[in-house]
Structure 1
Amino acid sequence: MINKLITEQSSDYNNLEQMSTTELLTNMNNEDKTVPLAIEKVIPSINKLVDVIHEKMSNGGRLFYIGAGTSGRLGVLDASECPPTYGVSDDWIIGIIAGGDIALRKAVENAEDDADLAWQNLQEYAISDKDVLLGIAASGTTPYVIGGLQKAKEQNIITGCITCNQNSPLALEADYPIELVVGPEFVTGSTRMKAGTAQKLALNMISTTVMIKLGRVKGNKMVDMKLSNKKLVSRGVKMIMDELTVEESFAKRLLKKHKSVRKSLEAYKKEIKELNL
């Protein structure tokens, strides 16, 4: 099987150790340029998955990511960035990696080869048919991810996947497969490179689009972001200034009082409306 995987095919470049630094960087960059083009080809598939995720989450469902290694880390990363960015609950988008949180920093031996482990992990969150499960695996052959999708389908849970090979076992299991075929890696088999970049871009597109459709963005601003540091507070103040055309000092007072950009805007507009009645 491994010999047939595009992600495992020999690099189009050889004798890497003989290349200059400039040659290495230029050739890697040239390969990376092909990634957005591969994603462009499957936007219709991403569209279908986003729409079903939006429908489920609009009705109280959640989005789960499962993966191993780089794929698992990317899922956890995307899930962990949604609460501070969009002010949503930590249990709205949940990322699970084979081997648990320790695997975010160190490889956990054989975790990805356990076909039953993902479903055990998902049971800790009481996953149900209200939710959507998205499996992430560059190869499309990871037992941990495939096993998770198989069990989910038995429970009538909608499934999707992101993989970088065509017609993989994982894609055949998914209701909504996304196949990002980016070709052989610059370093043969190193799927943290182009494949990982493609997966990250796709996850960005999926979660961002879902959050926008769920009303977590106003205009082009993250009005529900958590004000967890000075930079974000300053960003919030600027949002209020731009939206309401008010002075910085006034915007700061509004934000300090309401603790949220959205609430600040709503409170001000409500007050103005009442004054005009």
Structure 2
Amino acid sequence: MVGLHRSLGRGRFRSAMSAVILGVGLTLAAPAAMAQDVLVLAAASTKNAVEKLASQFKAKTGATVTSSFAASSALAKQIENGAPADIFISADLDWMDYLQQRSLIKTDSRVNLLGNELVIVVPKGSTLKPDLSKGGKLAEQLGDGRLATGDPSNVPVGKYAKAALEKLDQWAAVEPKLARADSVRAALVLVSRGEVPVGIVYRTDAAVDPGVEVAAAFPPDSYPPITYPAALVASSKNAAAASFLDYMKSPDGMAVWKEFGFVPAPKAP
């Protein structure tokens, strides 16, 4: 799983205390200082962009943004189980809906923030040209190798991947050869290290790993539009959180998302 990123300042956090949330170790600031921080739980694929946005936001406002990145499913479950958070960014609508149905987000703050594309990556220098034609031979091309993507039972990228392969009549053949990762970045690492010959990730993930290259892109109509919703968590009382959410969707914020390859959120049907 993609590691936890912490953006802790110096000095005023010397009295930090240790806490454990669902088995993930976190170092949290003392209550007085923690109230000034913004805690973001965000889909693994947003890591590089959120880190830059947090840095820019701190430069503009002085407020520290602390971020934790993992599969949207894992983060939603953390919030459901009481993990402290101010903002949740999901890589699909389902997990935001899951929290909204349980009154765990501030519904009036919810916004469809971003879009993305689904691609197949191979290790840098690979000559494999994945067959994404209707009824194609991707499973045969894998040979004894596996295809890495998020676990389709809960990880958004895996759910998108399953939908696309089903649309192309290739799911039944490919499913037995899946390497089911717990996040899109975990799947990316398997390809980058050459442990698997093929992976299905978002285009933005492929762009930040020099160890992979995009070998093919899925037809846009083969999977549901990839949508990243964001919202304030219902339990948050941090005024700075709303400011950071506003910043992420401002023109300056959207310029950062674009820099990392994200596209505008798909229009609602």
Normalising by structure 1, we get a TM-score of 0.29
Which one has the bigger strand percentage?
2
Mark the structure with the bigger radius of gyration.
1
Q: Which has the higher helix share?
A: 1
Larger RCO of the pair (alpha carbons < 8 Å, separation 6+): 2
